[in-house]
Amino acid sequence: MLAASGSGRHPAAAQRPVRLREALRLALEQGQRRMAGRALDRGAVTVPPAAGAGTEPFVNLNAPQDLVAAEALSRRGAP
């Protein structure tokens, strides 16, 4: 299962069967980093956000000002 939102798929927020552990480890050791396509090839489904979810649930916090903005959003109680 891969989480999705308005900005696309988020393979880091995914649920993967334990039985795929070894295949995932080997893929990473071979330098493969794009796990979404690999997961979809193995039958994963994309799960969209709940209807009316509102705010983008996934954000990148790459700089101090990104964290400040996310904290402000959290204090406002964004849906």
Structure tokens, 14: 């995914």
In degrees to the nearest 10, what's the CA dihedral of 6, 11, 15, 17? 140
At 27 the three-state DSSP class reads: helix
Residue 36's identity, in one-letter code, is: A
| pLDDT tens, residue by residue, 8-64 | 787 776 777 888 889 888 988 999 887 777 777 888 888 877 666 666 777 778 899
Residue 43 near residue 17, CB atoms below 8 Å = no
pLDDT tier for residue 79 given thresholds of 50, 70 and 90: low
Task: Please name the residues in contact with 62: beta carbons below 8 A apart, sequence gap of 6 or more.
Answer: none
pLDDT at position 51, please?
A: 63
Q: Indicate the domain borders of the chain.
A: 2-75
